[in-house]
Amino acid sequence: MENKVLGLHHITAIADNAKRNHGFYTNVLGLRLVKKTVNFDDPGTYHFYYGNESGTPGTILTFFPWEGIGKGTTGAGMATHIGYSVPEGSFDFWKKRFEENKIGYQEAEIFGEPQLAFSDPDGLQLSLVIPAAADSRAPWVTDAVSADAATRGFHHATLTLNQADPTAKVLTDLLGYRQLAQEGNRYRFVNENIDTANYIDIIEDPRAGYGRNAAGTNHHIAFRVKDDTDQMELREKIAAAGLNITQKIDRDYFYSLYFREPGGVLFEIATDNPGFTRDEPLEQLGTALKLPKQYEPARTKIEAVLPGL
């Protein structure tokens, strides 16, 4: 079958405090809150989606902010780092902004691309990357973060694994990536069906202990497909490889499949359709609490227990 994967769709992480998480990503990083809804399995917890103006796949970082969950531990079997693409010449702006907000950062270069590494208030490991090829995606712009500095969306996600090869085979044989480069124990894979949000890095560390999912850790990463027809074709391929994959799940704004790759990372296959404007217009995205239809009868009770922002 022709490869249908189009890089990353979204990444989902865990936070401890909803108000702090919302303030950091919208005010400090200047992302748009594209959708404010609740966890499908725990409607007393928000599910936030941050991204560009329309929530284009490849820009969306989502959070389950479980109040008081406590700090998690990153480790093997997890997506441990998230890289955002930013324009050339923007680092001076970001350094000043981080310093003003008392956010520590470190400069580095990975595969020839400059990076500013930092963490969110829960310890989630992030970086800003100036890509070798300019990123043409239109950013979400705020009064504080202008177009010449704003993030464009994901550049890469990094997986930390005890062994690279079994996961590498999933990326190359099932998801259409190819190995692009290696620096020491870091391997970079690229999906050439798209030119943004198309890198996965693997750090191989046989001595790394397994992580514990709580605040400051990634819950899963989602790969992008055009629609649920492509998605179900890919499902057959993954199942035929002997991996245990779920049935299609309607997540209101996309359809999802989930499976664990051999190294333990939870992978999702998510569709572009139907998108975030299915229940509110573009200009109003993220302004109202949107509930899955099964929870709409309990709206008053749910709104009463959700923390204020």
Q: What CATH number should be reported for the domain holding residue 192?
A: 3.10.180.10
Range of the domain at 16: 8-305
pLDDT of residue 1: 54
158 domain residue, yes or no: yes
187 part of a folded domain: yes
Q: What is the pLDDT of residue 29?
A: 98
Q: Residue 70 falls within a domain, yes or no?
A: yes
Which parts of the chain have pLDDT scores under 50? none
> Residue 286: its pLDDT value, please?
97
For residue 90, being part of any structural domain is answered with yes
Query: What tens digit of pLDDT does each residue of 254-296 get?
Result: 999 999 999 999 999 999 999 999 999 999 999 999 999 999 9
Q: Read off the pTM.
A: 0.97
Q: Is residue 84 in some structural domain?
A: yes
Task: Report the SS3 class of residue 131.
Answer: coil
- Return all residues near 227 (Cβ < 8 A) that are at least 6 apart: 271, 272, 273
Task: Please state the domain count of the chain.
Answer: 1
Is 87 a member of any domain?
yes
Within the chain, residue ranges assigned H as helices are 18-23, 91-100, 165-169, 228-240, 299-305
The pLDDT score that the predictor gives to residue 3 is 74
Q: Flag whether 1 is in a domain.
A: no
Rounded to whole angstroms, the Cα distance separating 241 from 136 reads 36
Does residue 3 lie within any of the structural domains? Answer: no
Residue 154 and residue 58 in contact, taking contact as beta carbons nearer than 8 Å: yes
